[in-house]
Amino acid sequence: MTTETIETIEDFETFADLGLSENILKALTEMGFTKPSPIQAQGIPAVMQGSDVIGQAQTGTGKTAAFGIPVLERIDTSSNAVQALILCPTRELAVQVSEEIGRLAKFQRGIKIEAIYGGDSIDRQIRSLKKGVHIVVGTPGRVMDHMQRRTLKFDEVRMMVLDEADEMLDMGFREDIESILADMPEDRQTILFSATMSKPIMSITKRFLNDPVLIKVVRNELTNVNIEQVCFEVKPQAKVEVMTRLIDMYHLKSLLVFCNTKRKVDEIVEDLQLRGYASEGIHGDLRQQQRSNVMSKFKAGVTTILVATDVAARGIDVSGLDGVINYDIPLDEEYYVHRIGRTGRAGMSGKAFSLVARDEKFRLKSIENYTKVKIEKGVIPSYEDIVGVRKARFVESISAAIQEGDTDLYQDVLEMLRHSGFTTEQIVAALAKQIMGVQKNEYSDGNLAWEERRGERREGGNDRFERRSSGSTGGRFERGSRDGGRDGDRRGGSDRFASRERSGESRAPRERDGEAKRTAAPEAGMTRLFLSLGRKDHIMPRDIVGAIAGEANIPGKTIGAIDIYDKFTFVDVPERDARTVLRAMDGNTIKGKAVQIDIAK
């Protein structure tokens, strides 16, 4: 097999330069397309010449039109037989491809297109195929099902397209694909599109393609220059809080959120809905009807946030996305490119925000090396920032309502509330609070970004106590002098540990004969927690205060008595913060040692 490679990109000013029919040009104009993308500029002529083609390009480069337009140009409407088969990895992509080809065929009379995929009624599909279909877009599994039922015949197929071939192979469809290709007429034209050229892909091309032309779109950067890429270093338990702040700060009205697992999708959707955000999730466990309902609401704008896994998001192509948020950093660098390629399309600008936990920073570095793009580090918006943004939007909405008029019926409301004894200022403030919906929570006054591990601390101290950013200590202690001495009065904290720490004493009571001395019950309003580290682990009260205050975002001065024994420790925290501390410290470390924490029995 010989392969001709095309890497240069000719400068086609318009689609008319490609010699397309008037009906196609009319449809492209109505869809708002004027100049072909690089993959279209090279792919359309090669496919229309009848050559087998391998197209290597990323998601969002216009691949559907690159093969869809030549397919439409070659359809003979005088025959009702299937003349083109397009295979896609997922039902969402199959639906999207069939819809886009349908839009391209708007002014071509008599062309019939059918999407066939699992989860949809096979009886309905059979009835449609019997009536006559020119173009079938389907998933490998459902196409094989129709082949076995003999309801899908390939006798007159002229063109065979494999879209997202690498993804189909990753999903385990190799045997199905090879069976389908083997059943095709030998003189058909085969077009394969893939983001990567792996060994399995090359194996299929050698076996089933005849002297293919390889079209490789060369770009200096794998990611769109119109996409603003920013990362935020976030503590894992604060990711939802940071995400909602970004949504509010940048006024994101149409957003895709990506997670690595189906379970995480469900958890995030529940958290967002509890906070009042119109969100829905999509993953592999949803039935087809559920997936269709979710996508319909998202496309209609009823749902503004769609949370998805990478596989489920294949084929989701919604125009006008404001941004993409990587809640989890993807395990594969290519997935990052696919994800952020959903925004910033058709020359529009987009935003791609990545929430990076400490254990994900190396994955982010791999992505930067792969894409050759430096992802800027962002500053997490503060609680005050979000309140300010919502205030401004509240004022705008009230001003707009006043300008619209028709408020006569409501003008007596102010007087009614005044008669109840409230001032105008109180009334306006209460209405603003109710409408804006900003409520303080355990994250409002805390620092939500993670810091470097304590193993990187400097001599004589613990950088857990360093001020990480101005105005955001949230009750954390500042480092004293380098020789290990500390001011007795810690800023924003208590001096109750100062004298013991200076002398190196432990707050723990002495133990006799291996028995721990029973301590008094916690004070009212406090909950006693058990920690699996003790004096033998060389921990001191300041280590415990620093860990809990830093990870749970509570002021160090609110932490109560600390009793350190040889192998374990008791620490009192406010009842209202106990669950927050348990969640924050779960799986965490103190002085580099893993700690187990629970409510003391």
170 within domain boundaries: yes
Whole-model pTM?
A: 0.51
| Average pLDDT of the segment spanning 509-534 | 67
Residue 106 sits in the same domain as residue 211 = yes
Q: What is the pLDDT of residue 257?
A: 94
Residue 88 sits in the same domain as residue 132 = yes
* CA 171 vs CA 89, 151, 176: distances in Å: 8, 25, 11
Residue 276 sits in the same domain as residue 200 = no
pLDDT higher at 361 or 319: 361
**What letter does residue 211 receive in the DSSP assignment?**
S
187 within domain boundaries: yes
Which residue, of 170, 194, 216, is where some domain finishes? 216
126 within domain boundaries: yes
Residue 180 sits in the same domain as residue 37 = yes
Render pLDDT for 218-238 as a digit per residue (tens, 0 to 9).
554 555 667 889 999 999 889
Query: How sure is the predictor about 579, in pLDDT bands with cuts at 50, 70 and 90?
Result: confident
Residue 156 sits in the same domain as residue 29 = yes
Does the pLDDT at position 171 exceed 80?
no
Does the pLDDT at position 475 exceed 80?
no
> Measured in Å, how far apart are the chain's first and last C-alpha atoms?
73
pLDDT higher at 568 or 468: 568
pLDDT higher at 36 or 472: 36
Q: What is the pLDDT of residue 436?
A: 67
In the chain, the amino acid numbered 472 is S
Does the pLDDT at position 17 exceed 70?
yes
447 within domain boundaries: no
| Average pLDDT of the segment spanning 158-176 | 87
Does the pLDDT at position 243 exceed 90?
yes
Lowest mean pLDDT among 237-241, 246-250, 308-312: 308-312
pLDDT higher at 513 or 81: 81
82 within domain boundaries: yes
Does the pLDDT at position 191 exceed 70?
yes
Residue 142 sits in the same domain as residue 45 = yes
Query: How sure is the predictor about 201, in pLDDT bands with cuts at 50, 70 and 90?
Result: confident
| Average pLDDT of the segment spanning 17-42 | 87
Report the domain count for the chain: 4
For β-strands 569-574 and 562-564, DSSP reports them as: antiparallel
448 within domain boundaries: no
Does the pLDDT at position 133 exceed 90?
yes
**What value does the mean pLDDT of the chain take?**
79
Residue 168 sits in the same domain as residue 29 = yes
CA atoms of 210 and 314, how far apart (whole Å): 29
Does the pLDDT at position 514 exceed 60?
no
Does the pLDDT at position 499 exceed 70?
no
* CA nearest to 486, candidates 555, 566, 541, 406: 541
* CA nearest to 552, candidates 440, 469, 476, 468: 476
Domain of 419, in residue numbers: 386-436
Residue 205 sits in the same domain as residue 237 = no
* CA 297 vs CA 21, 137, 265, 271, 336: distances in Å: 35, 24, 17, 19, 25
pLDDT higher at 144 or 341: 144
pLDDT higher at 427 or 477: 427
| Average pLDDT of the segment spanning 491-519 | 39
Residue 67 sits in the same domain as residue 47 = yes
449 within domain boundaries: no
SS3 state of residue 370: helix
Residue 22 sits in the same domain as residue 167 = yes
181 within domain boundaries: yes
CATH of the domain at 558: 3.30.70.330
Lowest mean pLDDT among 12-16, 195-199, 223-227, 556-560: 223-227
Residue 430 sits in the same domain as residue 303 = no
Residue 422 sits in the same domain as residue 501 = no
For β-strands 526-531 and 569-574, DSSP reports them as: antiparallel
Q: What is the pLDDT of residue 328?
A: 93
Does the pLDDT at position 70 exceed 90?
yes
CATH of the domain at 56: 3.40.50.300
